[in-house]
Structure formats: C-alpha cells, structure tokens
Amino acid sequence: MNSNKIRMGMVGGGEGAFIGAVHRIAARLDGLIELVAGAFSSDSARSMAAGQMLGLDPARCYASYQAMFEAESLLPADQRIDFVAIVTPNHLHFPIAQLAIQYGFHILSDKPATLNLEQALALKKQLDSSHVVYGLTHTYTGYPMVKEARHRIANGELGNIRKIIVEYNQGWLANSDDETSKQAQWRLDASKSGISCCMGDIGVHAANLTEYVSGLEITELCADLNHVVPGRTLDDDGTVLLRFNNHSKGVLIASQIALGEENNLTLRIYGDKASIEWSQMEPNSLWLRSHNAPATLLRAGVGPLCNAATNALRTPAGHPEGYLEAFANIYVNFAKQVQASKSGLTTVNSEFDVPGIHEAIRGMAFIENAVSASAQDTKWHTFKIG
C-alpha cells in the first residue's frame, strides 16, 4: 500500500456489476488513488471472493459496509480509507452515505444520489455539519469538449441562450427479454431504483448536462413519461419540455426502448449569436455554428482550449477521449479535493470541478418533478425542491 495515495473503499461493485469495474478502472487511471478495502456484496462469501480477486488484503474485505466503516475507523490515519465509492443500486446510496459521514469518510457516489428527494435534502444537512467531501459521478461532465462548451457559453460566445435540446436514447430495454440481467432487474424494481427507471437512470444525466453546460437552471417542466413494454410499472421512455431561469425553452428526450440505439446522448444549445452541438458517441468533436458563416469543428487536443478542457485531456489529438477517461476525470478531480481537505484547504481550483450535493439535489428534484408532472393533466409545473 502506497501511503501517498488517496485510499479508497468500495461498497458494491462485485461479480456481475458493470459499473463497479468502471469505477475501479477510473480510480486507478491517474495513479492518485488506491483501492484498499471493500464490501462488494451483501453476501459475505461473494464479497470476500471479489476482494481477493482484486488482490486486496483478506482482512480488509468486509461482509458489510457497516463492518468496513467500523474496522477502518480503528486503523491508523495513514492506513484507513480516505473515501468510499458507493456503486450499489439506488436504495442503498443514502444509508451508506449517512454512515460514511458519521465516521468522517469522504464520499463519491453513483447517481442518482439517493432513492428520493427527501433523502437528498437530509444528506445535505448532514454534509453541511461535517467536513466530508461529497461527489457524484455525473460522468459526462468529465469530457474535455463538454468543459470547452461550458467555457465558451460562460464567455458569451453563444450570446443569450434561446433553446436547448438534449436527447439520451438507448435500446437495451426495448423488449421484455432484456429484463434478465442484474442491471435491468434492479432498475425496473421501484423498491431499489426509486419512482423512475428511464428518467432516474439516464434522463437525470441529460438534465444535469443541460444545466452544467448552459449555466442555467430548470424552473418549470411539462412531462410525458411512458412504460412502453407490457408489464412494466416504471417509465422506460419519456419527453420533458423545459423552461429555464433566463426564460428560454428546451426539450429533453430520454428512452431505453429506442431499438437500435446504443448510448446516444446529444446536446444542442442555441443562442442569439451562435450554437453548439456535442455528442457522447463522437466525444472529441464540438460543433460551433453561427449565422451565415461556415460551421467550426473544434477537436480535442487541437488548438487552444480552455484550462478545464486541457486539464481533462489525456491523449494526443486523434485518440478518443472516451467514457473511461471522462469517468477518471471525475475521480482525479475528486482526489484533488480530498487532498485539499487533508491539507486543511477549504477550496480547490474551480477547473477541477466535481458534481456535488447541489447537483445531487437538483437531480432528485428533476426525477420527482418529471414523474409528478407526467401523472397530472396540468401542462406546466414549477420545478420544486423540497
């Protein structure tokens, strides 16, 4: 174990859990973080087997997250975990985070932050009275060209924002036969995923991306959510009309039954001077278009980019800056925040941003407001928090 690294514990992410492996790859990509402990499954034997497969000390492969926090807290400060990565189904995010705060461990959680908005607001209260650093893995904020788009909008290159269109389409739940995987089963179970499947899983990413890049906040919405595949009780498709705090309008489309789609997240933002377009399936490219002029294609690693985008670059021009690298940018920025906290600093360079409890609350509010609005005949609904 390297005492200079930020030490990570993990809850969840054992055998058959796709996202656990992604977190582990992202965490170790920059050499700042070391996985030293974990409670990888609610089954103690599976947790132990997962930890040993990862090469961990058997004494630090725990039967439960409660046991991990208690045992780790008793270790010397230069050995115990610094933070916990929460990679479980949604219903466990809040109790794990609550207990981590009680023991003083920093938290990097999968999204959405909690099972419901009430829990997210309660989590904020606990964080406000602690010194715990909290981060949320809204992965798409980690892409270099997303950061470049955010920078250019903040600098006024698009002028006044008029229209935002964001689409997140997948086809992996298009049929009832697709429900057999571990990932599908808990997402379609309200007791584990919460009140939404599609909006809770990918719609919230789309909503977060619009606010992150545009710098605006959703103030009203009109939603039409559907459960298309027979037998489902949670949404697998939906469209949400949006109004923002500068009086501009937007459309959010999210679907997991769009047959043939892979992971098609696309954002278009239109101002009165120019527009931008970015797609997760072509992540190195950012289109900038203006009136009666040739379109400009900005490419990752080519020409001058803002500091935040440059810091997020990992490869020479022409090499894809993909999902794992974007995920790793969340981890490396979070590690810098933990390092700053350990050094007694209260702030870090804003270029090393990580979605936090503010984004966690707005994400849960988006999910609950969309589901509530869809169930009513009234057209427009105020975006409520609490």
- Per-domain residue ranges for the chain? 6-140+330-355, 144-315+362-374
What whole-number distance in Å separates Cα of residue 241 and Cα of residue 223?
6
Contacts of 315 (CB under 8 A, 6+ apart): 301, 321, 325
Q: What is the reported pLDDT for 386? A: 79
What whole-number distance in Å separates Cα of residue 12 and Cα of residue 349?
31
pLDDT (tens digit per residue) in 260-282: 999 999 999 999 999 999 999 99
Mapped onto helix, strand or coil, the DSSP state of residue 243 is strand
Confidence of residue 1 (pLDDT cuts 50, 70, 90): low
Give, in order, the Cα–Cα distances in Å from 243 to each of 3, 223, 268, 353: 49, 12, 15, 26
Residues 314-320: contacts with CB under 8 Å, at least 24 apart: 318/284, 320/283, 320/284
**For residue 120, pLDDT beyond 90:** yes
**For residue 47, pLDDT beyond 80:** yes
Same fold, 6-140+330-355 and 144-315+362-374: no
**For residue 138, pLDDT beyond 90:** yes
Domain spanning 6-140+330-355 has what CATH number? 3.40.50.720
CB atoms within 10 A of CB 78: 9
Asked whether 308 and 327 are in contact (CB, 8 A), the reply is no
**For residue 2, pLDDT beyond 70:** no
pLDDT (tens digit per residue) in 102-113: 999 999 999 999
pLDDT (tens digit per residue) in 313-330: 999 999 988 999 999 999
Q: Average pLDDT in the 346-362 region?
A: 87
pLDDT (tens digit per residue) in 211-250: 999 999 999 999 999 999 999 999 999 999 999 999 999 9
**For residue 10, pLDDT beyond 80:** yes
Q: What is the reported pLDDT for 14? A: 86
Q: Average pLDDT in the 306-311 region?
A: 95
**Antiparallel, parallel or unpaired: β 274-279 and 264-271:** antiparallel
Q: Average pLDDT in the 57-71 region?
A: 97
User: The domain at 144-315+362-374 falls in which architecture?
Assistant: 2-Layer Sandwich (3.30)
What whole-number distance in Å separates Cα of residue 149 and Cα of residue 302?
15
User: Cα 151–154–155 angle (5° rounding)?
Assistant: 85
Q: What is the reported pLDDT for 293? A: 94
**For residue 92, pLDDT beyond 80:** yes
